[in-house]
Amino acid sequence: MYRAGAHWGISAIAARFCRDRRGVAAIEFAFIAPVLLIMYFITMEASQAIETSKKVSRIGSMVADLVTQQTTVAKADLDAIMKIGASTLQPYNRSKPTIIITGIQISDEASPKATVAWSRKLVGTTYSADAAKDSITTVPSTLNIRKTFLVRVESDLGYEPIITWTADESKPLGLTSAFNHIPMSETYYLRPRRGPTVPCSDC
């Protein structure tokens, strides 16, 4: 037997349920919160990456400036200067930079040739020689001036975003294929300040 009262009771409950808005804010927050967190981390990571990129560029200018202020250098001097350059990246410490300092002699010829006078590099925490002495290298055409000397500093860093980094390198986090080791590099040239060349006594 059909009971009209029951029908109206169900309708009233349904109407009351549709009018109830007490949980809307919580549901909306559950949808919005992940988006806000993602935007926060992207903004934080982008600002840190930009700042680190500026520091990588600063390595080249600072190291070249220190080298070209010397009248002569030795391997120990170049290694110490590269160590100072690497320290400018702090507090970023998720990957180690590569720094290469090269002394370049431009020949006194109608078509000048650029040859390596000496070269040192820092890879992570290891110091060693880089390009062989008297090997041919290249410089920008505007700097290829007869009978001059250049100091070139190359700085390179494989930037690791914090979303892909872990202190235990044997357990990398996800997303590494797309974001891990973002290349940041800079090449800086400078001429000697206190003489025509900067010779290296034991390179």
Q: What pLDDT, on a 0 to 100 scale, did the predictor assign at position 102?
A: 97
Q: What pLDDT, on a 0 to 100 scale, did the predictor assign at position 162?
A: 75
Q: Give the pLDDT mean for 120-133.
A: 94
What confidence category does residue 170 fall into, taking pLDDT thresholds of 50, 70 and 90?
very low
Q: What pLDDT, on a 0 to 100 scale, did the predictor assign at position 167?
A: 55
Q: What pLDDT, on a 0 to 100 scale, did the predictor assign at position 53?
A: 92
Q: What pLDDT, on a 0 to 100 scale, did the predictor assign at position 150?
A: 96
Q: What pLDDT, on a 0 to 100 scale, did the predictor assign at position 63?
A: 95
Q: What pLDDT, on a 0 to 100 scale, did the predictor assign at position 16?
A: 62
Q: What pLDDT, on a 0 to 100 scale, did the predictor assign at position 145?
A: 94
For the chain, give every domain's residue range.
24-190
Q: What percent of the chain has pLDDT over 90?
A: 56
Residue bearing the bigger pLDDT, 164 or 1? 164
Q: Which residue shows structure tokens 């410089």?
A: 139
Q: Give the pLDDT mean for 176-188.
A: 77
pLDDT (tens digit per residue) in 11-64: 666 566 566 566 666 777 778 888 888 888 788 888 888 999 999 999 999 999
- Average pLDDT along the chain: 84
Q: What pLDDT, on a 0 to 100 scale, did the predictor assign at position 38?
A: 81
The predicted model scores a pTM of: 0.76
pLDDT (tens digit per residue) in 53-106: 999 999 999 999 999 999 999 999 999 999 999 999 988 888 899 999 999 999
Q: What pLDDT, on a 0 to 100 scale, did the predictor assign at position 2?
A: 46
SS3 for the chain, per residue?
Answer: CCCHHHHHHHHHHHHHHHHCCCCHHHHHHHHHHHHHHHHHHHHHHHHHHHHHHHHHHHHHHHHHHHHHCCCCECHHHHHHHHHHHHHCCCCCCCCCCEEEEEEEEECCCCCCCEEEEEEEEEECCEEEECCCCCCECCCCHHHCCCCCEEEEEEEEEEECCCCCCCCCCCCCCCCHHHHCCEEEEEEEEECCCCCCCCCECCC
